[in-house]
Amino acid sequence: MLTLVIALLTQAITTTEAPSKPATAIVTRSRNEWRVEYRLKKKSRAWLFPVSQPVSRTHEPWRERAWRVITAGVHIERRGSYDVLVPTNGTFVPLKVQIVFTPTNATLDREYDPAIAFSNGATALYSDQFDVIPSADLNAIGAKEAGLSVRDLGGSHTTVRFHDVSGPVFVQGRRQSDPVLIGGETYVVFGSSKVEETAGVAMLADPALPEWVKAEVAGFAPKRCRGIRFTTG
């Protein structure tokens, strides 16, 4: 797949102090292993993943096959249109949950791809796929409309830290060590790739992408994005 990730350098990148969140997460890549560790700050009978749309081509869910819960007493199951963390003993989801996952490079139905694979081995992860929100009524989840946002579901975004054992990641137009995103709606790129700066645009392009495509993007991106301010929180 030919991939291009861009961000403006000329716009201000601001960070707001995060209010108290019901969940935090650390996403870690260590060599070929990917892991997400959740710290849940309240007891709940279920934790719902808002980004749960199925794969467009097959209409099948993807998270149950690609994410493996290694914490005892909890598993992922499908309820209606959503993936859900559910306790195996019928009480509450453990407050600390560890999951090993394989980045899912697939096109979802009306949602950002969970992961994008570059031809040189780099991987971009969609930040908001790691959002989880508590739900007191497990049965009610199955009746909810598909594609609802975190806010529509009555929750708030998870505070997510991204850590690569190999070094900084690329996000919001620059390389950063252990960036923290809250509802970032962006991609975090793990792995080495050349960052090209042209006319105020920091462009991380797949090495296989033709030069003329990169030139066109560098030309129209500042015009389309002028006035946008990137924020977290």
Q: What is the model's pLDDT at position 13? A: 40
Which pTM value belongs to this model? 0.84
Q: What is the model's pLDDT at position 121? A: 87
Q: What is the model's pLDDT at position 233? A: 35
Rounded Cα distance, 14 and 130, in Å:
21
Residue type, 121: G
pLDDT along the chain (233 residues), means of 10: 45 43 94 96 96 96 97 97 94 97 95 90 94 94 95 95 96 90 92 68 68 65 45 35
Q: What is the model's pLDDT at position 172? A: 84
13 phi, psi to nearest 5 deg? -110, 115
Rounded Cα distance, 83 and 65, in Å:
11
Burial 4-43 (b: 16+ CB within 10 A, else e): ebbbbbebebeeeeeeebbbbbbbbbeeeebbbbbebeee
